[in-house]
Chain A
């Protein structure tokens, strides 16, 4: 069991780092608003795939890293990611047997929930972002879900 966990944690941390880099990769302004939350997808994947290897800890740490790197209120992304990763973990057995379409829809719901928590914290801390653009990211993210799963499961296999 110990050995099992150790093997799993390396691809976990690696994929999270890559996703974190993707989150701040400079994009043209037009595409910027469409940037999917890669890190959230990666965290969801690991919470569904191997929750015992520390999905929630990963979620919290990844959220904290996002807070620091994006310079928002400390704890904002951490809160959103923890809550939604917890939910994803709760749903994982069902998610694994879902068809691709159902998976995409579920992930869309989770990503929207994630954006909603961010939106709420933004508003509660006094700098609301009310543009419509932020609700586009969940759509793109959900559509990217099969790709993320494909890449990560291959990484996982090694």
Chain B
């Protein structure tokens, strides 16, 4: 069975070593150029078009099967689905009732402070392609690319919350790195008290970590984490996850906090690409302590995140009150100017 049918009996391949070295050097040069300089972005974008047919060929049978399964569902199943979706829509509408008023209020307050940082401008929906990229990195391929205006570093959301960000853009496709990737970190804020920290991926789709919280930090299981909007990459106020477990070892200075991501990282098929409103160059940004404008951001964040997660206006108000001590620090910062 295992037999080679080669006719090349003479064992000579001319210049094997030479060609091997040449190709290896070429590959090494590619690695260095790709890593050190950004010149290969365009080449890669064009080459990704060549890869597109393979990706389509792999993904299409699965999509076809999905389509087939959808098109042969029974009437009863469809009716059940419809009833469920109507229920969800009703619930969502209840929750949205106050959203517009609150958003307008938030905009007014932000305008007072000359800051529109982290306000979302527009969305584009993209679909996850049925292609496995790498078993050891949490990444997915999306059927939107540079020609749809997608850019590297763009925030990506799903129906539950923050999904990840764009890591690489092709002409027709984009690679999204999930918040759970071991190399991903996202600035977050605890919705209850406005405490800011960074959520880091673990490589496990069901778990994030908060590695930089001291043991004395006010964090309890069940706390909602929302994006803080700091760093400018992500819009503020979108849910990232809920604290699942807090371990405090008195011998350690940092607490061990596990977070369950809000987005359905392993199930979502439709993702939202977010464009932030261009940030006006506010005079505040000229001052060196770039973080001074951020504490007042917490009240607006909680009102903004409130209707989405529906903790109710009362809770949003309490969040605003708890954030007040932080707000009082701003006049001091303002005096510095």
A binding-site residues for B, Cβ under 8 Å: 17, 20-21, 24-27, 29, 32-33, 35, 48-52, 56-57, 59-60, 63-65, 68-76, 78-79, 82-83, 86, 89-90, 92-93, 96, 100, 103, 121, 124-127, 129, 131, 133-134, 146, 149-150, 153, 156-157
Known: A50-B8, A82-B24, A96-B6. Contact between A72 and B134, CB under 8 A?
yes
B111 at the interface (CB under 8 A from A): no
Q: Which of B59, B135, B136, B168 is close to A71, meaning CB atoms less than 8 Å apart?
A: B168
Are A90 and B16 in contact, with the CB atoms below 8 A? Answer: yes
Are B29 and A75 in contact, with the CB atoms below 8 A? Answer: yes
Residues of B within 8 A of A26 (CB): 58-59, 62, 130-132
Residues of A within 8 A of B135 (CB): 32-33, 35, 133-134
> Can you name 14 A-B pairs with beta carbons within 8 Å?
A21-B57, A24-B54, A29-B205, A60-B26, A65-B51, A69-B55, A71-B139, A71-B175, A72-B134, A74-B44, A83-B24, A86-B23, A96-B6, A125-B31
Are B58 and A24 in contact, with the CB atoms below 8 A? Answer: yes
Are B26 and A68 in contact, with the CB atoms below 8 A? Answer: no
Are B2 and A103 in contact, with the CB atoms below 8 A? Answer: yes
Known: A21-B58, A49-B6, A134-B135. 11 other contacts (CB 8 A): A26-B62, A26-B130, A27-B132, A56-B20, A64-B47, A73-B35, A75-B26, A82-B27, A86-B24, A89-B13, A146-B2
Are B47 and A71 in contact, with the CB atoms below 8 A? Answer: no
Assembly CA distance A75 to B59 (angstroms) = 25
Residues of B within 8 A of A82 (CB): 20, 23-24, 27
Residues of B within 8 A of A126 (CB): 35
Are B13 and A51 in contact, with the CB atoms below 8 A? Answer: yes
Least Cβ–Cβ distance between A119 and chain B, in angstroms: 11
Known: A78-B30, A96-B6, A153-B3. Contact between A134 and B136, CB under 8 A?
yes
Assembly CA distance A75 to B35 (angstroms) = 10
Are B1 and A150 in contact, with the CB atoms below 8 A? Answer: yes
Are A86 and B16 in contact, with the CB atoms below 8 A? Answer: yes
Least Cβ–Cβ distance between A15 and chain B, in angstroms: 14
Closest 10 CB pairs of A and B: A75-B30, A86-B20, A79-B27, A75-B31, A78-B27, A74-B34, A32-B135, A82-B23, A75-B27, A129-B136
Assembly CA distance A86 to B47 (angstroms) = 25
Are A153 and B132 in contact, with the CB atoms below 8 A? Answer: no
Q: From B175, which residue of chain A is reached at the shortest CB distance?
A: A71
B277 at the interface (CB under 8 A from A): no
B5 at the interface (CB under 8 A from A): yes
B40 at the interface (CB under 8 A from A): yes
**Which of B19, B59, B141 gathers the greatest number of chain A CB atoms within 10 Å?**
B19
B68 at the interface (CB under 8 A from A): no
Residues of B within 8 A of A93 (CB): 11
Are B4 and A49 in contact, with the CB atoms below 8 A? Answer: yes
Least Cβ–Cβ distance between B156 and chain A, in angstroms: 15
Q: From A75, which residue of chain B is reached at the shortest CB distance?
A: B30
Known: A20-B54, A24-B132, A75-B28. Contact between A100 and B6, CB under 8 A?
no
**Which of B6, B44, B167, B175 gathers the greatest number of chain A CB atoms within 10 Å?**
B6
Q: From B266, which residue of chain A is reached at the shortest CB distance?
A: A29
Q: Which of A25, A59, A79, A125 is close to B58, meaning CB atoms less than 8 Å apart?
A: A25
Q: Which of A29, A134, A146, A156 is close to B1, meaning CB atoms less than 8 Å apart?
A: A146
Residues of B within 8 A of A121 (CB): 31
Residues of A within 8 A of B203 (CB): 131
Q: Which of B5, B50, B51, B141 is close to A153, meaning CB atoms less than 8 Å apart?
A: B5
Residues of A within 8 A of B132 (CB): 24-27, 32, 35
Are A60 and B5 in contact, with the CB atoms below 8 A? Answer: no
Least Cβ–Cβ distance between A75 and chain B, in angstroms: 3
Assembly CA distance A33 to B26 (angstroms) = 29
Known: A32-B135, A71-B168. Contact between A51 and B50, CB under 8 A?
no
Assembly CA distance A27 to B62 (angstroms) = 11
Residues of B within 8 A of A64 (CB): 47
Are B19 and A24 in contact, with the CB atoms below 8 A? Answer: no
Are A24 and B133 in contact, with the CB atoms below 8 A? Answer: yes
B327 at the interface (CB under 8 A from A): no
B322 at the interface (CB under 8 A from A): no
Are B23 and A59 in contact, with the CB atoms below 8 A? Answer: yes
Residues of A within 8 A of B24 (CB): 79, 82-83, 86
B279 at the interface (CB under 8 A from A): no
